[in-house]
Structure 1
Amino acid sequence: MRPVPDIDAFEERAAIAEHDGGLSRSRAEDLAARAQGFRDAEAYWQWLADYVVSRKVP
């Protein structure tokens, strides 16, 4: 089972990668998602959406 995502860390890492690293927002979010063990940002956001709907850790 994957740990619960840290939204604050995700947003901070993505913002730094975008601003300081010159990445697009999409690539920066993919990087931030991978840092938390997700395939990409789409998988990260899907995990969170599933959690909100089911109110339990997928």
Structure 2
Amino acid sequence: MTRIPDIESFEERAAIAEYDGGLSRSEAENVAARGQGFPDAAAYWQWLADYVVARRLP
């Protein structure tokens, strides 16, 4: 099964975690990434970068 990130949902969840939850941006992005099945924000952003470069799903 391929995970397809939802960028809008990621950004919204990260913003809520940051501003309402009092987390740093980095921590908030990790929360948002885990919510989409990624281990952390680095894995989320890497997936997107690989997708952009390959122009196809990994």
Calculate the TM-score normalised by the size of structure 1. Answer: 0.96
Q: Structure 1 runs of 4+ off > 6 angstroms?
A: none
Would the aligned equivalents of 1:2 and 1:37 in 2 still touch at CA under 8 Å? no
Partner of 1:15: 15
The answer for unaligned runs of 5 or more in structure 1 is none
Q: Percent identity, aligned pairs only?
A: 74
Q: Helix, strand or coil: the match of 1:21?
A: coil
Q: CA RMSD of the aligned region, Å?
A: 0.6
The answer for unaligned runs of 5 or more in structure 2 is none
